[in-house]
Structure 1
Amino acid sequence: MTSGVSASGEPAQFYWCLRHNRVETDGNACAGVDRLGPYATAQDASHALQKVAEREARLDAEDARWKGETA
């Protein structure tokens, strides 16, 4: 799964499956609505939820500053 090359010879893409809470590849990925990605590596995909949480916190802080609130 972590070879970095798909069966077609293209660079492999990895996804975080929200349904199964696991890393999936092009060959075994759930429907797009149930996944985050693509990511270049399985490790990047495994950190997808952390990245989303960090991004949301950053955007919430920006919104608070925009509204004149202290964050």
Structure 2
Amino acid sequence: MAASSGGSSGGRFNVFGRSRRAPTGQPGEWYYCLKHHKVEEGPECPAKNRLGPYESREEAARAIEIARDRDESWRRDPRWNDRGRDDES
């Protein structure tokens, strides 16, 4: 069965049927792109590939360090630590 090329999708869908979305963000918002390993201002890459927004280029450049510190903080927070709860039964 041949694929139909009828209908108008306006170029919004690729061959896999996923919608193509423009990156979101504003000039003056800083992000760290996980795909390209670089700081970006505004909407350069899709949100799924970015950390941020950050208030400055310098803060975005530290995105991995900031995420690591937050993760460690959450790991030590007793409100988020489930270790030992199953052992108390």
Identify whether the pair has TM-score above 0.5, normalized to the shorter chain. Answer: yes
Partner of 2:62 in structure 1?
47
Partner of 2:32 in structure 1?
16
TM-score by length of structure 2 reads 0.56
Secondary structure (helix, strand or coil) at the match of 1:57 reads helix
Question: Which one has the bigger helix percentage?
Answer: 1
CA distance 1:63–1:25, change in 2 (3 Å): same
Say which of 52, 71, 77 aligns to 1:62.
Answer: 77
Q: Is 2:22 the counterpart of 1:26? A: no
Could you say which structure has the larger radius of gyration? Answer: 2
- CA distance, structure 1, for counterparts of residue 57 and residue 80 of structure 2: 35
TM-score by length of structure 1 reads 0.69
Amino acid at match of 1:23: V
User: How far does residue 66 in structure 1 lie from its aligned partner after superposition?
Assistant: 4.9
Unaligned runs of 5+ in 1: 1-9
The aligned length equals 59
**C-alpha RMSD of matched pairs (Å):** 2.6
CA distance 1:66–1:16, change in 2 (3 Å): closer
Secondary structure (helix, strand or coil) at the match of 2:77 reads helix
Q: Which has the higher contact order (CA 8 A, sep 6+)?
A: 1
